[in-house]
């Protein structure tokens, strides 16, 4: 049985029966048949379906935001913004897919009459998706995959089954072929069997590093392409010449977005000693102004954590960090109240050997790491198994750009701004934050056959 629970109240929302192996096999076979016909269509009918999906998303933005708030605690206004972004990514690929996948001609200087590279769909793509952005994570894979001519199967996180079924319903109502996009209500333990199924040609996962390793191993054993977007512990480097007002605003926004439950949220604030005291003061004061509460209340900045066990795990990381020498400037105490709430927390004097330094803190907890200067700041930023996003704040924009381009080890590096995904830019990580890219022209080419055609 799969159960959705409201993390703000602890109340059960709905229970769903798990699909049997026979049901799953039947769905996969039908998606494969739908994909075989879909690959032969041109971009016009594909675009029509995605544009209709974008229209339906905007029409239902309040309904879908409320669904996210109930199932995983996202504040309503953030949920509405997430739905809008899903509509945007659908529209972006309808406007650009034909150009991104246009044949690329190669002049072989007389060795062939003509030769070119063609980008052809692979077939059925399995997506294993997380709960933290339950609509966006799905649409950012689905829009390019469907526009490329693939079919799609979704195994969503078990605490957001309502979101998973709502997304399937959107694509069905948008006029896409029946069974082209389907949701599987199965536990995580059933994913390996789906990867092995001959109908599945590739797999993408957004989630934790351990989950990514398990899926990568299963995909590798089956010789199937995989793309992984995994955890992150993004460093935000604040240099001595930074505009502290701008830096604090960006750092607070990034740390608390989605109630702190974002892979690309700022997590480690690496501040040079000369501005450390002032940054701490301004940052802590700004964090104090943010409100933790009911995700349905428009005044709420931070809702509950998605599950009580995740909240408790976060608190244990905070306690171990303090026991190892970190100082708590704000929060840090487990509330005695209903719901999976956790206070906005600021730790300082964080260093190696502490969970706040070495691990990902998936919640509204900030770790301030003081450093002597720029060289130590960059070394500290890169002293992590993760490499998803990073940011640097400095008044010397040209120098900051050089640091972002040449020295910070991450898939996305921002200067004087907080890291975020954008349909127009490639997104993904390095090291234990995964491999492959989503979004932009790179994202739509991940799940295609890059085919060489040579003509005498």
Kindly list the catalytic residues: 229, 263
| Sheet containing strand 434-435, strands side by side | 181-183, 151-155, 124-128, 200-206, 225-229, 434-435
Please choose, from the candidates 305, 300, 321, 276, the residue with its C-alpha nearest in 3D space to the C-alpha of residue 364.
Answer: 305
Q: How far is CA 33 from the centre of its chain?
A: 29
| Sheet containing strand 389-393, strands side by side | 327-330, 345-348, 365-371, 266-272, 234-238, 389-393, 412-415
Sign of CA dihedral 431, 355, 331, 243: negative
Both tokens assigned to 58: 């905007």
Please choose, from the candidates 318, 349, 346, the residue with its C-alpha nearest in 3D space to the C-alpha of residue 334.
Answer: 318
Please choose, from the candidates 204, 251, 241, the residue with its C-alpha nearest in 3D space to the C-alpha of residue 437.
Answer: 204
Contact 268, 357 (CB under 8 A): yes
Q: Which residues contact 156 (CB under 8 A, 6 or more apart)?
A: 129, 131, 134, 138, 163, 164, 183
Separation of alpha carbons 243 and 21, rounded Å? 57
């Amino acid at each position: 049985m799969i159960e959705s629970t409201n993390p703000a109240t602890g109340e059960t929302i709905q229970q769903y029966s798990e699909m049997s192996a026979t049901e799953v096999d039947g769905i996969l076979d039908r998606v494969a048949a739908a994909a075989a016909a879909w690959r032969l269509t041109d971009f016009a009918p594909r675009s029509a379906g995605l544009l209709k999906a974008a229209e339906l998303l905007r029409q239902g933005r309040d309904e879908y935001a409320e669904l996210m708030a109930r199932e995983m605690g996202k504040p309503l206004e953030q949920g509405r913004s997430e739905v809008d972004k899903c509509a945007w990514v659908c529209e972006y690929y309808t406007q650009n897919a034909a150009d991104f996948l246009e044949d690329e001609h190669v002049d072989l200087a007389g060795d062939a009459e003509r030769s070119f590279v063609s980008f052809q769909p692979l077939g059925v793509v399995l997506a294993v998706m997380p709960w933290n952005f339950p609509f966006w994570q799905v649409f950012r894979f689905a829009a390019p995959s469907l526009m490329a001519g693939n079919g799609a199967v979704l195994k969503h996180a078990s605490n957001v089954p309502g979101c998973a079924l709502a997304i399937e319903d959107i694509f069905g109502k948008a006029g896409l072929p029946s069974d082209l996009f389907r949701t599987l209500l199965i536990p995580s333990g059933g994913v390996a069997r789906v990867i092995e199924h001959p109908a599945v040609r590739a797999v993408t996962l957004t989630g934790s590093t351990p989950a990514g390793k398990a899926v990568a191993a299963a995909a590798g054993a089956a010789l199937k392409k995989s793309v992984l977007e995994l955890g992150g512990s993004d460093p935000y480097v604040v240099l001595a010449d930074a505009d502290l007002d701008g830096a604090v605003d960006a750092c607070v926004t990034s740390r608390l977005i989605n109630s702190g439950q974002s892979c690309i949220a700022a997590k480690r604030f690496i501040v040079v000693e000369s501005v450390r005291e002032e940054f701490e003061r301004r940052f802590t004061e700004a964090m104090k102004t943010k409100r933790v509460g009911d995700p349905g209340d428009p005044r709420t900045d931070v809702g509950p954590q998605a599950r009580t066990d995740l909240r408790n795990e976060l608190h244990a990381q905070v306690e171990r960090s303090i026991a190892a020498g970190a100082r708590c400037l704000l929060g840090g105490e487990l509330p005695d109240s209903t719901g999976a709430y956790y206070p906005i927390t600021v730790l300082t004097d964080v260093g190696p050997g502490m969970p706040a330094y070495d691990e990902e803190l998936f919640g509204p907890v900030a770790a301030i790491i003081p450093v002597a200067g720029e060289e130590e700041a960059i070394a500290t930023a890169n002293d992590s198994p993760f490499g998803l996003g990073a940011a640097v704040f400095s008044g010397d924009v040209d120098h900051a750009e050089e640091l972002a381009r040449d020295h910070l080890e991450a898939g996305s590096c921002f200067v004087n701004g907080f890291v975020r995904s954008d349909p127009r830019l490639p997104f993904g990580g390095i090291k234990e934050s995964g491999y492959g890219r989503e979004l932009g022209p790179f994202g739509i080419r991940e799940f295609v056959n890059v085919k060489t055609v040579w003509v005498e």
